[in-house]
Amino acid sequence: MKKKKSKGAKKINYTKKIVEYLKKRAPKKVKYKTLLKDMRGKQFDFTEFTKALEKLKRDNVIVEDQKGISLAGTKKTVVGKIVKLGKTFGFARLEDTDEEVFISGRNLLGALPGDKVKLKIFKSSRGDSPEGEVVEIVEENFSLFTGVVIGENFSLLIPDMFPQYEIIFENPLDYRLSSGDKVLAKIIKRGKRHSEHRCEIVSNLGSSQRAAVCAEGILAVNGITAEFSDEVLKNADEVSNYNEISRELKNRLDLREEKIFTIDSAHTKDIDDAISVERTKNGYKLGVHIADVSHYVKPKSELDNEAFNRGTSVYYANKVVPMLPKVLSNGICSLNEGEDRLAFSCLMEIDNSGHLLSYDFKKTVIRSRVKGVYSEINELLLGSEASDLRDKYKEVSDSFEVMRELAGKLKKNRLERGAPQIESIEGAVVIDENDVCVGVLPHERGESEEIIEDFMLMANESAARFARDNDLPFVYRVHEKPDGEKISTLGEILSLLNIPHSFEDGVSPKDLSKVLEYVKGKPSAIAINSLVLRSMSKARYSEEELGHFGLALDNYAHFTSPIRRYPDLAVHRIMSDYLETQDSGLTRARFNKFVYAASSRSSEAEIIALSVERSCNDCYKAEYLSTMTGEQADGVICSVMDFGFFVMLDNTCEGLVRTKSLSEGEYYVDNLLTLKNKTSGDSYSVGERVTVKIESCNISEGNVDFSFVKKIE
């Protein structure tokens, strides 16, 4: 006879029971074993309990990590990317909003830079900024990295991207390693904590005390290589047919008898722009002649695929990693002196006030009369009587006064438009024959550099007008209006400093120009220029015509550097297609999708290249200062943080004065511009000149530590 179930027996709702249990214990996490033990009873059904628990996880009602199980809260999980790791924390940038979220070390789940993660967001104990917890690593994007070997017998290395952790490595290729070697490594096993990750050595680059070695590592980990595949080199050799230049004459405008010449630095080998200028009855005729790279790099060829992926050439120290093989960049595409070259010319008519009357784009053949050098032409513009210089430039010297006159009018117009003239100090590193940095000098722009810049701006603006006038798909260089919140913050700082400004009705380029003009020559100029720059949007490439805030222009594109920038090559290709077909509909059909891909990839590549160039140069600067450890130097405070202040030396090298090296007391930042000691009243403000002592230099990380000596009155 079957045993009857008791009348009071009911099916247990484990979903409800688990949620109520976790609510009572929130915000604490409960270990699975504890939950299981407390759920057990006389009628416990393990299968139903497990089903309920797993469904709650799938529905994001609860989350489980190595610390235990807890309610996910009312907010859904969000997706972000790990962008930075500190010693006991990390930051993730959210996909939807670009907002950065703080994550404590215990909540990182072993996530590494570049990893795509699912985050639970909660109210931060640190203030208003959001805080998060990694509940799942959705996509692992960190594998290849550089680091420094420590301890010859302990098999440990310190990764450059998160130097607060030590990782055990394997050496399957049996490299001979010493403590302090810079190595290229890859993750071979992931753990739930950073200390549990394992890696293996891929390559030993050399001593981390050499900037050249550190730069090589920075390039490698960013996928930047000077080497080209055999297929790309073969394609480059195939198209580099110098005989074709003469055969192309019948299809092009012959400008070989025009006074066309180039102006670049003395060491430039990839010369992609030349100019010609003369007075006319109505004003001026300006020619900007650009290497016709699109004639050689055809769509979907091996060369084109490689150039698309690279996006840009990378320049650092005294080196260049080219976008195109040298047989093109330094050879058939380079506008070398006295050699016939295929060009894409922008021929402009400009009135006596410096305003554009008309433009015409033509496929041409040119022959540069001379390889001009900025420093030499600057000397001549200053009135040098040096006979060797006058002999070198005798064919084109009568163009100098005309180009100076025209450039002056173009600059005047640019300033009247209100384009902000942000002053930034750049440093040029001096490298010896052993690839060691032996000096850092402030880079000064002379008159000829400014002239060429203004001429290139005119050609770029004309190219954008060409696209608009002919209704073409295009790759524009855009610079959108500043973010309202950033401008509001800038306004608050300017008010505190009693700097006149008016942002109430939205900011215009002219508004920022007035601020920069007001602080020009004042001690705070460096800081205000930096703050204005940080308040502005980042320039990028776009298929949309969004204008250029920084230049105060409605239409702008990059046309003048197709040897070293893919967006310029893309622009040339689109314009060439239209000039050949005269059918905008056909050009749109061919390039509508292409401009999206070219704009996106070019923007990504530019960001990486700028970061790499900056990081490499920082290593070289640290290498130079390492020879001056213990010496004193003068500089200016350029920014302040809770942990100290940064000083830019007169040679443009920067270093950090940490609060722990200052007098004892509690430090805080007042108005973003002054670091104050609550106890002693000592203060250190942006713009103040100080003397510092060079204490230590980390060449591998490109960081320098100073100690404060005195203020300079």
Instruction: Give the per-residue pLDDT at 207.
Output: 95
- Phi first, then psi: what are they for 574, rounded to 5°? -65, -45
Q: Which has the closest alpha carbon to 572: 295, 352, 327, 186?
A: 295
**Surface-to-core class of residue 87, CB atoms within 10 Å of its CB (0-12 exposed, 13-18 middle, 19+ buried):** exposed
Cα dihedral value 385, 387, 393, 396, nearest 10: 60
Per-chain mean pLDDT for the chain? 91
Q: Which has the closest alpha carbon to 328: 310, 357, 356, 303?
A: 303
Q: How confident is the model at residue 184 (pLDDT cuts 50, 70, 90)?
A: very high
Report the alpha-carbon distance of residue 549 to residue 306 in Å, rounded: 32
- The lowest-confidence range among 72-86, 213-227, 487-501 is 72-86
Going from the C-alpha of 58 to that of each of 16, 52, 79, 498, 668, the distances in angstroms are 15, 10, 16, 56, 45
What mean pLDDT is predicted for residues 533-552? Answer: 94
Q: Name the 3-class secondary structure at 474.
A: coil
Instruction: Give the per-residue pLDDT at 124.
Output: 60
Dihedral sign for Cα atoms in the order 433, 434, 436, 438: negative
Going from the C-alpha of 443 to that of each of 428, 435, 446, 519, 690, the distances in angstroms are 6, 20, 10, 21, 22
Report the alpha-carbon distance of residue 365 to residue 385 in Å, rounded: 33
Instruction: Give the per-residue pLDDT at 619.
Output: 96
Comparing 347 with 528, which gets the higher pLDDT? Answer: 347
pLDDT in tens, 286-312: 999 999 999 999 999 999 999 999 999
Does residue 258 have a pLDDT over 70?
yes
CA 71 to chain centroid, in Å, comes to 40
Residue type, 94: L
Supply the pTM of this predicted model: 0.84
Going from the C-alpha of 280 to that of each of 26, 284, 285, the distances in angstroms are 81, 5, 6
**Surface-to-core class of residue 619, CB atoms within 10 Å of its CB (0-12 exposed, 13-18 middle, 19+ buried):** buried
pLDDT in tens, 144-155: 899 999 976 668
Report the alpha-carbon distance of residue 56 to residue 53 in Å, rounded: 5
Does residue 576 have a pLDDT over 90?
yes
Comparing 401 with 35, which gets the higher pLDDT? Answer: 401
Kind plus residue range of the DSSP H or E element containing 91: strand 89-94
Does residue 5 have a pLDDT over 50?
no
Q: Which has the closest alpha carbon to 555: 482, 454, 459, 450?
A: 459
Residue 83 has which token pair? 């962008």
Residue 1 has which token pair? 């006879």
Q: How confident is the model at residue 183 (pLDDT cuts 50, 70, 90)?
A: very high
Vertex 272: Cα angle to 230 and 419 (nearest 5): 130
Residue 173 has which token pair? 């290729």
Does residue 73 have a pLDDT over 70?
no
